C-alpha cells in the first residue's frame, strides 16, 4: 500500500540543523486555531474555561469582603459593649456584662464544622484533579463528579448537623432562661450565632445546589464553578465561626 | 393575551425587561432615578412652601402637621441619597459605559448585575409603601437615630412606617453590594488586551474606588439596620437607652440599656463613605469632560488616580465629624477633625488640577462642559465650608443649623446632580444616536446654576443666624427667627425656580429622542472607548491624548486603533457572537 501524505507546511519550513537537538519553539505546529493559541491575547470572555472560574471567584471574594465587614461590625458591638458599665455610688464601677455559660455542645459543633471544611475541600480538589477532569472534558464518563459527590454530600450532612447543634445550643440557653432579650451578653450571643447561622444556611443551600449541579450541568467548567465557589464560601464561614467561637469562649469571664 | 400571536411575547419580555444587557439596565436605572428624583423634588417643594406659608393647606391633603413635615423631610433625604445620588452615578452610569470604557462587551457577571436592579426596585417600592401603612411614613430623618427610631410610641410613622424604612434600607444594601461586586469583577477581569490599569479612564478608577467603598460601607449599614430591627422586634438592646419616657409613659425597660451612640458611629461609618460613593464618579467624569472640552490631556494622571484612591481610604476614617456634639469624647473629636482636614488635601489636589486645566485650555462651552464646570463650582463652594464644620469648636455652634444644610446640599446634592446632568448630556448620543438640544441645555444650565446658588447660598446666612434644621415652622409663640422670614421667602422662590428649570431638561430629553441632531459616531471627538465604532478594538493609548498638533485634522488620539483590514473586525464579531451564547 503506497503511503501518500502531504507534509505540513511547518515541517517544510523547519530548518534541519542537521545534528538533532530540540525542535524550534517559534514554528511549532499549533492546535488548528491559527497562529495564536495564546488564550491570554484573546478578548475577554474567550480566554478559556479558567477565565469564568476566576470571575466567579472574584465575585465570591467581593461578597466575602463585604461579609467580613458585616461580621466585624457585629463583633465591634462585643468590644464596645462590655466596657459600657456605670458608676454606682455604693459599689463603684458596675459592669452589666453578665457572663453566660457557653453550651458545651458548641465544642462538638465546632469540631463538626471543621470536619465539614475538610470534606468540602476534598470534594473541591476532586473536581480539579487533572486526569479525571480531562476524562470528563473529553466525555469519557464523569470520574471527578463520582468521586466528589460523596464528599460533598458528607459536607451537606455535617453542615446540617452543625445547624441542628446550634439549634440545640439555643434551646439549652432558653432552658436556662437566657433568651435573646435577657442581657447584653445574651443579645450579643444570639446576634452573632443567628447571623452566622443564616449565612451557613445560605452556604448549605449553595452546597446542595452544587451537589445537584454536578450531575445536571453539562459543561465541566460550570460544575467546577458551582463546587469551587460554594466551597470557598463554606471555608470562609468556617473561619468566621472559629473567630466567633474564640470570642464567645474568651469573653465569659 | 392568548393564541398563537402571544408566543413571541415571552422572549421579548425576557430580553426587554428582564435583560442582562448593561445599556438597557442603565435605562431602567435612569428611569428609577427619575421617578425618585421627581418625588424627592416634590417633597422638597412641600418643605419649602410649608416653611414660608405654614398656615396654608395643601391641595388634596390639607394642613401639613409638624409630624407630616418630619415625614416629608425623612423621605426626601432617603429618596435623594439612596435612589438618586447612589443609584444614578454608582449604578446607572457604570452600566451605561463601564464595560465599553474598558473594552468589554458586557459585565463579568451579567445576571448578578441584572438582579441588582430588581433588588433596588423592590427596595424603592418597600420604601414608598411607608406612605400607605397605618400612621404613614417615618419621622426619624434619613439617619434614623435611636431612640426615636426604636419605639413605635415615639411618634406617628415610627411603627410600620419605620419598619418599611428599615427593610427598604436592608434590601437596598444587598442590591448595591451585588452591583458593586459585579463592577469590581468587570474592571479587574474584563479589560480588553492593552487596557492596562495606567490606561483606565478616571471614571473607571472612580467606579473602582466607589464600588470598594460600597462593599464596605453598605455591609456596615446592613449589620446596623439588622441590629436596629432586632432591637425593635426581638427585645435586644444594642441601641436602646434605659429609662426612656415618652408622653409620660416609661417605655420597655431593657435588662441593661444599650447605647444610641453605637448606632451613630455605625451609621456614619456608612454615611460618610456614602458621600464619596455618590461624588467620586462625578469627579472622574469632570476630569474626563474637562480634558475633552479643553482639548488638553489630564495633567498628572497618576496624581489624580492616587488622589481618588486616597479619598477612598481617608473617607473611611472621618465619620466622627458628623457627631461632634453627641457626647463623643472630645479627644476623639479632635482626631476626627484632623482626619477630615487630611481628606481636604487629595480633594484640593483634584480641584487644583481641574482649575489648571480650565486656565490653560481652550474651553468649548458645550452643555456637558458647562455642567461639569457647574459641578466644580459647587464642589468648591460647598467644600470650602467643610473645614469650617470639621472644627469641633465651630461645629458645636453650627451643628443642626441651616449652615450644615447649605454645606451638604452644595457639596453633595448640587455637585452630584450637576455631574449627573453632565453625564446625561454627554452620554445621551450613546442611547439615542442624537444629541440633546444645546440651546435648551444652556438655558437649563444657567437657570439651574443661578437658582441653585439662590436656594442654598442664603442658607449659610440663615444657619449663622442660628436657624435650626427639622423645625416645621419658624413662627409661633417664639419669635426668634422672624427676621429670617424674608431670607426664607427668597430661598423658597429660588427653589421653585430651580424645580421649574428641570422641566426644560425633561422636555429636552424627550424631544431630542426624535428631533435631536444626529450625533454621528463620535460627536464629542472623545478618546475613551465608549465612543469606539467597533467592539473589541486594540487599545493603544492612554485615555486622554488631546491637543496633539501633527498636521493632521485630528487633534486627539483615541484609545482604540481601527483594525488594518476587514479580517480583524470579522474575527471580533465572531468572538462577540460566541460570547453572547455564553
Instruction: Collect all residues with Cβ–Cβ distance below 8 Å to B216 and sequence separation of at least 6.
Output: A65, A66, A69, B273, B316
Nearest chain B Cα distance for residue A39, angstroms: 11
- Distance to chain A for B538, nearest Cα, Å: 10
Across the interface, do B223 and A73 touch by the CB < 8 Å criterion? yes
What is the grid cell recorded at B422?
453632565
Cα angle for residues B60, B63, B66 (degrees, 5° grid): 130
Greatest alpha-carbon span in chain B: 83
Give the integer Cα–Cα distance in Å for B519 and B435.
Answer: 5
The residue of chain A nearest to residue B182, with distances taken between CA atoms, is A59
A104-110 contacts at long range (C-beta below 8 A, 24 or more positions apart): A105/A165, A105/A168, A105/A169, A105/A172, A106/A165, A106/A169, A106/A245, A106/A248, A108/A165, A109/A162, A109/A165, A109/A166, A109/A169, A110/A241, A110/A242, A110/A245
β-strand A92-94 against A86-88: which pairing, if any? antiparallel
The answer to whether residues B319 and B338 touch, using CB atoms and an 8 Å cutoff, is no
B215 vs A contacts (CB less than 8 Å): 62, 65-66, 69
- Could you tell me which residue, B241 or A245, shows the higher pLDDT? A245
The three three-digit cell numbers of residue A186, written as one number: 445574651
* CA A230/CA B273 separation, integer angstroms: 30
The b/e string for B11-29 (b: 16+ C-beta within 10 A; e otherwise) is eeeeeeeebbbbbbbbebb
Q: Which residue of A has its CA nearest to B537?
A: A43
Assess A95–B contact: CB distance below 8 Å, yes or no: no
Give pLDDT tens digits along chain B (582 positions): 333 333 444 456 666 667 888 999 999 999 999 999 999 999 999 999 998 888 888 888 888 898 999 999 999 999 999 999 999 999 999 999 999 999 887 888 899 999 999 999 999 999 999 999 988 899 999 999 998 999 888 888 899 999 999 999 999 999 999 999 999 999 998 888 888 899 999 999 999 999 999 999 999 999 999 999 999 998 888 888 877 788 888 776 666 778 888 899 999 999 999 999 999 999 999 999 999 999 888 888 999 999 999 999 999 999 999 999 988 888 889 999 999 999 999 999 999 999 999 998 889 999 999 999 999 999 999 999 999 999 999 999 999 999 999 999 999 999 999 999 999 999 999 999 999 999 999 999 999 999 999 999 999 999 999 899 988 888 777 777 888 889 999 999 999 999 999 999 999 999 999 999 998 888 999 999 999 888 777 888 888 888 887 766 778 888 888 766 555 555 555 445 444 444
Q: How far is B492 from chain A (nearest CA, A)?
A: 41
Domain range list for chain A: 49-82+90-250
Contact A46 B578 (CB under 8 A): yes
Strands in B436-544 per DSSP E = 538-539
Q: How close are the terminal C-alpha atoms of chain B, in Å?
A: 32
Which one, of B396, B399, B406, B398, lies nearest residue B334 by Cα? B396
Q: Are A218 and A131 in contact (CB under 8 A)?
A: no
Q: Check CB contact under 8 Å for A73 and B254.
A: no
Task: Say how far residue B442 (Cα) sits from the centre of its chain.
Answer: 23
- Indicate which of A68, A80, A187, A217 best probes the interface with B, i.e. most B CBs within 10 Å of its own CB: A187
Estimate the share of chain A in helix, then strand, then coil, as percent rounded to the nearest 5.
Answer: 70, 0, 30
Cell of B552: 493632521
Determine whether the interchain pair A51/B215 forms a contact, defined as Cβ–Cβ distance below 8 Å: no
**Which grid coordinates belong to A87?**
458608676
β-pairing verdict for B245-246 and B556-557 = unpaired
Residue A183 and residue B258: Cα distance in Å, rounded?
A: 10
Name the nearest CA neighbour of B468 among B120, B148, B118, B51.
Answer: B51
Sign of the CA dihedral B285, B290, B296, B299?
A: negative
Of residues A99 and B29, more confidently modeled: B29
How large is the angle between the packed helices B415-432 and B485-515, nearest 10 degrees?
10
CA distance B332 to B59: 49
- In chain A, which residue's Cα lies nearest the Cα of B536? A43
Assess if CATH 1.20.1250.20 describes domain A49-82+90-250: no
For residue A201, how far is the Cα from the chain centroid?
14
Is the Cβ of A77 closer than 8 Å to some Cβ of chain B? yes
Q: Are B487 and B462 in contact (CB under 8 A)?
A: yes
| Chains A–B, number of C-beta pairs less than 8 Å apart | 122
The residue with greater pLDDT, A159 or B15, is: A159
Quote the cell numbers at residue B40: 424627592
Nearest partner of A42 among B268, B511, B536, B581, judged by Cα: B536
- Cβ contact, residue pair A44, B190, below 8 Å: yes
Using CB atoms and an 8 Å cut-off, which of residues 197-216 of chain A contact chain B? Answer: none
Q: How many CB atoms lie within 10 A of CB A151?
A: 18
The DSSP call for residue A182 is: S
Between CA A103 and CA B345 the distance in angstroms is 52
CA distance B43 to B81: 14
Determine the Cα angle at B452 with ends B450 and B455, to 5°. Answer: 110
Pairing state of beta strands B545-546 and B538-539? unpaired
Residue A239 cell numbers, joined: 473561619
pLDDT of residue A248: 87
Residues of chain B found within 8 Å of residue A55, distances taken between Cβ atoms: 108-109, 185, 189-190
3 state SS for B106-161: CCCCHHHHHHHHHHHHHHHHHHHHCCCCCCCCCCCCCCCCCCCCCCHHHCCCCCHH
Helix/strand/coil for B434? strand
CA distance A236 to B47: 48
Q: Which residue of chain B is at minimal alpha-carbon distance from A186? A: B236
Report which of B252, B241, B234, B244 is spatially closest to residue A181, judged by C-alpha positions.
B234
So where are chain B's domains? Answer: 19-242+255-577
**Please, which residues have CB within 8 angstroms of residue B126's CB and are 6 or more apart in sequence?**
B164, B167, B168, B171
Q: What residues are paired with B401 via a beta bridge?
A: B468
Please state the φ and ψ torsions of residue A127, each to the nearest 5 degrees.
-80, -5
Residues forming beta bridges with residue B245, ordered by sequence position: B250
User: Which residue's entry shows cell 459641578?
Assistant: B375
**Least confident among A47-61, A154-168, B374-388, B389-403:** A47-61
Chain B residue numbers touching A71 (CB-CB < 8 A): 223
Residue B581's pLDDT is 43
Helical segments of B361-484, H only: 367-383, 386-389, 392-398, 402-408, 415-432, 438-464
Q: What is the DSSP pairing of strand B560-561 with strand B538-539?
A: antiparallel
For the stretch A186-242, pLDDT in tens is: 888 898 999 999 999 999 999 999 999 999 988 888 899 999 999 999 999 999 999
Superfamily of domain B19-242+255-577: Cytochrome c oxidase-like, subunit I domain (1.20.210.10)
Q: Taking CA A178 as the corner, what is the angle to CA B153 and CA A197, rounded to the nearest 5 degrees?
A: 90
The residue in chain A having the minimum alpha-carbon distance to the alpha carbon of residue B106 is A45
The SS3 assignment for B191 reads: coil
Task: Quickly tell me which residue has 443551600 as its cell.
Answer: A205
The answer to whether the CB of B459 falls within 8 A of the CB of B385 is no
**Nearest by Cα to B406 from B377, B375, B376, B385:** B385
Query: Can the peptide bond before residue B555 be classed as cis, meaning omega within 30 degrees of 0?
Result: no
Q: For residue B178, give the chain A residue with the closest CA.
A: A63
Q: For the purposes of burial, counting CB atoms within 10 Å of the CB of B196, is it exposed (0-12), middle (13-18) or buried (19 or more)?
A: exposed
Q: Determine whether B47 is exposed, middle or buried from the number of CB atoms within 10 Å of its CB (0-12, 13-18, 19+).
A: middle
Residue A217, chain B, CB below 8 Å: the answer is no
Please name the member of B109, B226, B234 whose beta carbon is closest to the beta carbon of A59: B109
The secondary element (H helix, E strand) that includes residue B532 is none
Strands (DSSP E) contained in B480-559 are 538-539, 545-546, 556-557
> How far is A242 from A248, CA to CA, in rounded Å?
10
Rounded to an integer, the average pLDDT of A159-185 is 90
- C-alpha to C-alpha distance for B434 and B515, rounded to whole angstroms: 8
Bridge partner list, B249: B246
Distance (Å, whole) CA B74 – CA B70: 6
Determine contact, residues A121/A231, Cβ cutoff 8 Å: yes
pLDDT value for B300: 87
Q: Are B335 and B310 in contact (CB under 8 A)?
A: no
Predicted confidence (pLDDT) at residue A2 exceeds the cutoff of 60? no
On the 0-12 / 13-18 / 19+ scale of CB atoms within 10 A, B104 is: buried
Answer whether residue A10 shows pLDDT above 80.
no
Q: CB distance A182–B230 less than 8 Å?
A: no
Are the C-beta atoms of residues A200 and A239 closer than 8 Å to each other?
A: no
Amino acid at each position: 500500500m503506497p503511503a501518500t501524505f502531504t507534509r505540513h507546511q511547518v515541517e517544510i519550513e523547519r530548518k534541519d540543523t542537521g545534528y538533532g537537538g530540540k525542535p524550534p519553539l517559534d514554528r511549532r505546529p499549533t492546535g488548528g486555531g491559527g497562529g495564536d493559541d495564546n488564550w491570554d491575547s484573546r478578548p475577554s470572555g474567550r480566554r478559556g474555561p479558567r477565565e469564568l472560574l476566576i470571575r466567579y471567584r472574584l465575585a465570591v471574594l467581593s461578597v466575602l469582603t463585604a461579609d467580613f465587614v458585616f461580621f466585624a461590625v457585629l463583633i465591634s458591638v462585643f468590644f464596645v459593649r462590655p466596657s459600657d458599665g456605670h458608676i454606682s455610688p455604693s459599689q463603684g464601677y458596675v459592669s452589666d456584662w453578665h457572663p453566660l455559660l457557653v453550651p458545651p455542645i458548641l465544642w462538638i459543633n465546632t469540631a463538626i464544622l471543621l470536619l465539614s471544611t475538610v470534606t468540602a475541600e476534598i470534594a473541591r480538589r476532586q473536581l480539579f484533579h487533572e486526569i479525571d477532569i480531562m476524562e470528563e472534558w473529553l466525555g469519557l464518563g464523569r470520574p471527578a463528579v463520582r468521586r466528589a459527590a460523596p464528599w460533598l454530600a458528607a459536607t451537606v450532612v455535617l453542615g446540617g448537623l452543625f445547624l441542628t447543634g446550634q439549634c440545640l445550643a439555643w434551646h439549652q440557653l432558653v432552658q436556662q432562661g437566657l433568651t435573646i432579650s435577657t442581657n447584653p451578653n445574651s443579645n450579643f450571643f444570639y446576634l452573632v450565632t443567628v447571623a452566622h447561622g443564616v449565612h451557613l444556611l445560605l452556604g448549605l443551600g449553595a452546597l446542595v445546589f452544587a451537589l445537584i449541579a454536578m450531575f445536571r450541568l453539562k459543561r465541566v467548567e460550570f460544575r467546577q464553578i458551582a463546587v469551587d465557589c460554594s466551597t470557598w464560601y463554606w471555608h470562609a464561614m468556617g473561619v468566621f465561626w472559629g473567630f466567633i467561637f474564640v470570642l464567645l469562649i474568651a469573653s465569659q469571664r | 393575551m392568548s393564541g398563537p400571536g402571544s408566543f413571541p411575547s415571552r422572549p421579548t419580555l425576557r430580553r426587554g425587561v428582564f435583560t442582562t444587557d448593561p445599556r438597557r439596565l442603565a435605562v431602567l436605572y435612569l428611569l428609577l432615578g427619575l421617578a425618585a428624583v421627581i418625588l424627592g423634588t416634590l417633597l422638597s417643594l412641600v418643605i419649602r412652601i410649608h416653611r414660608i406659608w405654614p398656615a396654608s393647606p395643601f391641595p388634596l391633603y390639607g394642613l401639613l402637621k409638624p409630624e407630616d413635615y418630619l415625614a416629608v423631610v425623612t423621605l426626601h433625604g432617603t429618596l435623594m441619597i439612596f435612589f438618586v445620588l447612589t443609584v444614578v452615578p454608582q449604578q446607572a452610569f457604570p452600566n451605561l459605559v463601564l464595560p465599553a470604557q474598558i473594552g468589554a462587551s458586557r459585565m463579568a457577571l451579567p445576571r448578578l448585575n441584572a438582579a441588582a436592579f430588581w433588588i433596588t426596585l423592590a427596595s424603592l417600592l418597600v420604601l414608598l409603601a411607608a406612605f400607605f401603612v397605618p400612621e404613614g411614613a417615618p419621622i426619624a430623618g434619613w439617619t434614623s437615630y435611636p431612640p426615636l427610631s426604636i419605639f413605635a410610641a415615639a411618634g406617628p410613622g415610627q411603627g410600620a412606617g419605620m419598619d418599611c424604612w428599615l427593610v427598604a434600607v436592608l434590601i437596598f444594601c444587598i442590591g448595591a453590594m451585588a452591583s458593586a461586586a459585579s463592577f469590581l469583577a468587570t474592571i479587574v477581569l474584563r479589560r480588553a488586551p492593552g487596557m492596562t490599569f495606567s490606561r483606565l479612564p478616571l471614571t473607571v478608577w472612580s467606579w473602582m474606588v466607589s464600588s470598594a467603598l460600597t462593599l464596605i460601607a453598605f455591609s456596615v449599614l446592613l449589620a446596623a439596620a439588622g441590629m436596629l430591627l432586632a432591637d425593635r422586634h426581638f427585645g435586644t438592646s444594642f441601641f436602646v437607652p434605659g429609662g426612656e419616657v415618652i408622653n409620660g409613659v416609661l417605655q420597655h425597660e431593657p435588662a441593661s440599656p444599650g447605647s444610641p451612640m453605637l448606632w451613630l458611629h455605625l451609621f456614619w461609618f456608612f454615611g460618610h463613605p456614602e458621600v464619596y460613593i455618590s461624588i467620586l464618579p462625578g469627579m472622574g467624569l469632570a476630569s474626563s469632560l474637562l480634558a475633552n472640552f479643553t482639548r488638553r490631556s489630564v495633567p498628572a494622571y497618576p496624581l489624580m488616580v492616587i488622589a481618588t484612591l486616597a479619598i477612598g481610604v481617608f473617607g473611611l476614617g472621618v465619620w466622627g465629624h458628623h457627631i461632634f456634639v453627641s457626647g463623643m469624647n472630645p479627644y476623639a473629636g479632635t482626631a476626627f477633625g484632623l482626619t477630615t482636614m487630611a481628606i481636604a488635601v487629595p480633594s484640593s489636589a483634584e480641584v487644583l488640577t481641574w482649575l489648571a486645566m480650565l486656565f490653560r485650555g481652550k474651553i468649548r462651552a458645550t452643555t456637558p462642559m458647562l455642567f461639569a464646570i457647574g459641578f466644580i463650582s459647587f464642589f468648591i463652594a460647598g467644600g470650602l465650608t467643610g473645614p469650617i464644620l470639621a472644627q469641633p469648636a465651630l461645629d458645636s455652634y453650627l451643628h443642626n443649623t441651616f449652615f450644615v444644610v447649605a454645606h451638604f446640599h452644595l457639596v453633595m446634592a448640587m455637585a452630584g446632580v450637576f455631574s449627573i446632568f453632565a453625564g446625561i448630556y454627554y452620554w445621551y448620543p450613546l442611547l439615542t444616536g442624537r444629541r440633546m438640544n444645546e440651546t435648551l441645555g444652556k438655558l437649563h444650565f444657567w437657570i439651574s446654576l443661578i437658582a441653585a446658588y439662590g436656594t442654598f447660598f442664603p442658607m449659610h446666612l440663615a444657619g449663622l443666624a442660628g436657624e435650626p434644621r427639622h423645625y416645621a415652622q419658624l413662627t409661633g409663640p417664639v419669635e426668634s427667627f422672624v427676621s429670617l422670614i424674608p431670607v426664607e421667602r427668597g430661598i423658597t422662590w429660588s427653589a421653585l425656580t430651580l424645580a421649574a428649570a428641570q422641566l426644560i431638561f425633561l422636555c429636552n430629553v424627550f424631544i431630542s429622542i426624535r428631533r435631536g441632531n444626529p450625533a454621528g459616531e463620535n460627536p464629542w471627538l472623545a478618546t475613551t472607548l465608549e465612543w469606539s465604532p467597533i467592539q473589541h478594538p486594540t487599545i493603544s493609548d492612554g485615555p486622554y491624548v488631546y491637543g496633539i498638533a501633527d498636521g493632521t485634522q485630528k487633534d486627539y488620539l483615541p484609545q482604540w486603533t481601527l483594525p488594518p483590514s476587514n479580517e480583524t473586525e470579522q474575527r471580533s464579531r465572531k468572538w462577540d457572537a460566541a460570547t453572547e451564547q455564553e
